[in-house]
Amino acid sequence: MKYQSIKILMATLLVFLIIIIVHTLFQKPWPAQKAKALLPLPDSAIVHMSQAVKIPTISPEDTLHIDTLHFGQFNQFLTNAYPLIHQQLKQTIVNGYSYIYQWDGTDITLAPIILMGHYDIVPVEKASNNMWHHPPFSGAVADNAIWGRGSVDDKSGVVSILETVEQLLKEGYHPKRTVLLCFGHNEESTGTGAIAIVDTLQKRGVRADLVIDEGGEISTEKMKNIPRPIAFIGVAEKGYATFQLKVSIPGGHSSKPARETAIDVLSRALYQLRSTQMSATITAPVATFLNRAGAASTNFLNKVLLTNQWIFSWADKRILSANPESNAMIRTTIVPTILESGVRENVIPTVATAIVNSRILTGETTQQVIQFMKNTIRDERVEITVTGDFNTEPSAATDMHGPAFLAVQQAITDVVDNVIPVPFIMIGATDSRSYRKISNGVVNFSALKDSKGYHGLNERLPIADYKRCYNFYRTIIANNAGLFRE
């Protein structure tokens, strides 16, 4: 009887294994397609990008203390560099330094498309200035790239859009569908510029079919054993919440410390938070991404694991958890970023505080994060409160089978050879979160390839990437706005 049971078990396992192998073998890679020939950049494009990078439009944390000199210089740069846009498009300045350019279409029954970005940048650490290959605001053109802070994030997007529209105007094109160009001035801090733009568009009754902002990009480096480029198309954005953890315990002289101090309690709480992660969840966009990528893997085991999530999701979660970026795609993250306590070396402080930042996964909430922290810390002496100027719940997801996603997917296929387009969840916050009020078709994508240096050292925009971005936006406008010449 026992022997018979073993035979049945072995037969069942064999059948199960055969099913998995057959299912894996039937997972065909995403169709490979040759891209169209890319048009050259306009003659002035490289000079304009260099000029834009030279202007240090650093986003202030305090919106009341904006650098009016440099933001004013950028306004003058726009006027000088893009005369046809300023002559033929309707311009609206919002919240002082954010811009809307409206390129009217001939068919007012068609909902507009919005191409957006931000031109503010993060500052450069003074201590790192000498570590740059070229000064961070030089706009140097060297080694087939344009160097400087903001060349990738996000003047690459803003200037590429402007170069595209200026060139189309020069060639005498008009759109059937209205095209809106929207550029925020403080995405790196509060995002109030984008909020003001959306409020303005709402008052005009605008409801867009498609919104494209920065976010995903093309990679040949992130997925091992996949010999084709992968285009990561953002369809949703994680939530953003900042918390203060505060412990208050009477202090005193450092010569006679109590068994526990405020710093002790807070340190233990932070250690517990960092030692315990919130549960992993493979959301629908990530599941699609894994399946499309896995089907193209040259490693059969990886292909088995990624294309059979119905049985191997536990293994997929472990694989994704091993890398900080992919880990952030499958769970809410919690990390301390600021610690404050103490006034002198011989005084035990009464109060210790920590600022903790969380990026909240789609389907979860700020309240769930608070409850998780309480359950993990298990110490009522640690007070947890929401703080900060900006907190938001996770966004809704753009339909992966809807027209907005498919439009971007097609444009990518047109400009990148043999690309595999995949949806994913944005782990950072962008201005596009505000635009979901006026569109169900918000998509995050830049036609950059494994960009380097954003928010760090030696940020630079390869000219090949610049050319691809220009062709991507031109394709989007041609395919979705219906260009024609009179």
Model pLDDT for residues 61-116, shown as the tens digit of each residue: 776 688 899 999 999 999 999 999 999 999 999 999 999 999 999 999 999 999 99
* Spatial distance between the Cα atoms of 414 and 410, rounded to a whole number of angstroms: 6
CB atoms within 10 A of CB 105: 19
Strand extents, DSSP E, 220-318: 230-237, 239-248, 252-253
Instruction: List the catalytic residues.
Output: 120, 187
Per-residue buried b or exposed e for 255-271, using 16+ beta carbons within 10 Å of the residue's own CB: eeeeeebbbbbbbebbe
User: What fold, for 237-392?
Assistant: Alpha-Beta Plaits (3.30.70)
Strand extents, DSSP E, 367-419: 383-392
Q: Are 448 and 232 in contact (CB under 8 A)?
A: no
Entry pTM: 0.92
| Domain made up of 45-224+395-485: CATH architecture | 3-Layer(aba) Sandwich (3.40)
- Give start-end residues of each CATH 3.40.630.10 domain in the chain: 45-224+395-485
Bond from prior residue into 414 cis (ω within 30 degrees of 0) = no
The confidence score (pLDDT) of residue 254 equals 94
State the pairing for strand pair 483-485/173-175: antiparallel
Sheet strands side by side (includes 383-392): 333-341, 351-360, 239-248, 383-392
Which of 178, 172, 146 is CA-nearest to residue 160?
Answer: 146
Which of 430, 423, 15, 400 is CA-nearest to residue 187?
Answer: 430
- Which two three-digit tokens encode residue 234? 């953002």
Helix (H) or strand (E) holding 217: strand 210-219
Residue type, 49: M
CB atoms within 10 A of CB 295: 18
Residue type, 129: N
Per-run averaged pLDDT (10 residues), the chain, 486 residues: 66 72 84 96 97 95 82 97 98 96 96 98 91 96 97 96 98 97 94 96 97 96 91 96 97 94 97 96 96 94 92 93 94 97 96 98 96 98 93 93 97 97 92 96 96 91 98 97 88
- Give start-end residues of each CATH 3.30.70.360 domain in the chain: 237-392
The confidence score (pLDDT) of residue 147 equals 97
According to DSSP, residue 221 is labeled S
Which of 113, 342, 468 is CA-nearest to residue 101?
Answer: 113
The confidence score (pLDDT) of residue 421 equals 97
